[in-house]
């Protein structure tokens, strides 16, 4: 095995070897549901009353479980599918699943296994991990009309000065690092068109996420910076962005 193949194997093993999901089995991404709700409202786009959607890279269900609860509170009928390459993550998700398999089900699989004819696909913090992001986007384009993408922006002046990409690789095995400009180029070359987006730090949702008083103060400062000039704030400090894409 050459060095590049070995490195890619290490990236994959980080999430499939077992240790990661044992440490993160109780992770919760409820705040991302609120971000999705906010972006859809901003885009004047409503979810179908009989929603059919999937998440690629679903992990142990940190997003899909609160999203299913949200849909139930909305009184919507739904069918959700979660797919992940980690068999252990899927085992944890199935063990935690209190919903009917007719409404929420999890599978050990990749993008090619996702059924066609979906309303939405969610790709939350995945593109920075995969070997070929363009290939993943192409494979998803035939499956759904809309794609909601959550992407970290880690090529900023602050990230470079603090050598944050190296830490993201060590901690999360990120192998792609995007600025806002390169993220837009990625999407421009994909089978999707960008309908709308929202920087997480500029959303009221970011101010409600739990944290210490100091963390909350820093979030408030970042929130104000993004409200004043989101492009400058992104260039200086990065962050994350939620994007609504439509199949071309």
- Please answer whether residues 86 and 108 qualify as being in contact, where contact means their C-beta atoms are separated by less than 8 angstroms: yes
Give dist(CA 165, CA 171) in Å, integer: 10
Q: Reply yes or no on whether the pLDDT at 8 is more than 50.
A: no
Q: Summarize the confidence of residues 102-119 as an average pLDDT.
A: 95
| CA nearest neighbour of 138 among 115, 112, 118, 119 | 112
Mean pLDDT across the chain: 88
- Residue 70 Cα distances to 33, 53, 76, 142, angstroms: 8, 14, 9, 27
Give dist(CA 45, CA 123) in Å, integer: 18
Q: Which is it for the CA torsion 179, 183, 189, 194, positive or negative? A: negative
pLDDT digits (tens, 9 = 90+) for 63-107: 999 999 999 999 999 999 999 999 999 999 999 999 998 999 999
DSSP β-bridge partners for residue 192:
247
pLDDT of residue 152: 93
pLDDT digits (tens, 9 = 90+) for 144-194: 999 999 999 998 888 888 888 788 888 778 888 999 999 999 999 999 999
| CA nearest neighbour of 36 among 99, 119, 112 | 119
pLDDT digits (tens, 9 = 90+) for 26-51: 788 999 999 999 999 999 998 988 99
pLDDT of residue 18: 62
Give dist(CA 164, CA 245) in Å, integer: 28
Q: Reply yes or no on whether the pLDDT at 209 is more than 90.
A: no
pLDDT of residue 159: 83
- Please answer whether residues 68 and 122 qualify as being in contact, where contact means their C-beta atoms are separated by less than 8 angstroms: no
pLDDT of residue 162: 83
Global pTM value: 0.88
Q: Which is it for the CA torsion 159, 58, 16, 128, positive or negative? A: negative
The percent of residues in the chain predicted with pLDDT above 70, rounded, is: 92
| CA nearest neighbour of 67 among 113, 33, 91 | 33
């Amino acid at each position: 095995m050459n060095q590049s193949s070995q490195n890619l194997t290490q990236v994959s093993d980080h999430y499939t070897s077992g240790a990661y999901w044992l440490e993160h089995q109780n992770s919760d991404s409820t705040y991302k549901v609120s971000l999705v709700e906010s972006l859809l409202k901003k885009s004047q786009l409503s979810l179908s009353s009989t929603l059919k959607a999937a998440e690629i890279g679903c992990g142990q269900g940190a997003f899909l479980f609160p999203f299913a609860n949200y849909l139930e509170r909305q009184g919507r009928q739904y069918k959700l599918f979660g797919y992940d390459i980690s068999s252990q993550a899927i085992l944890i998700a199935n063990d935690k699943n209190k919903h009917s398999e007719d409404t929420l089900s999890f599978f050990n699989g990749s993008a090619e296994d996702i059924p066609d004819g979906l309303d939405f696909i969610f790709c939350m913090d995945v593109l920075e991990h995969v070997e070929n992001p363009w290939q993943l986007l192409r494979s998803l384009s035939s499956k759904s009309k809309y794609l909601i993408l959550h992407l970290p922006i880690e090529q900023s002046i602050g990230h470079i000065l603090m050598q944050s990409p190296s830490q993201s690789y060590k901690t999360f095995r990120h192998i792609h690092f995007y600025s806002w400009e390169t993220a837009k180029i990625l999407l421009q070359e994909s089978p999707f068109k960008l309908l709308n987006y929202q920087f997480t730090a500029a959303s009221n949702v970011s101010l409600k996420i739990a944290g210490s008083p100091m963390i909350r103060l820093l979030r408030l400062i970042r929130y104000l910076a993004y409200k004043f000039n989101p492009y400058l704030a992104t260039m200086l400090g990065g962050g994350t962005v939620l994007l609504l894409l439509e199949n071309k």
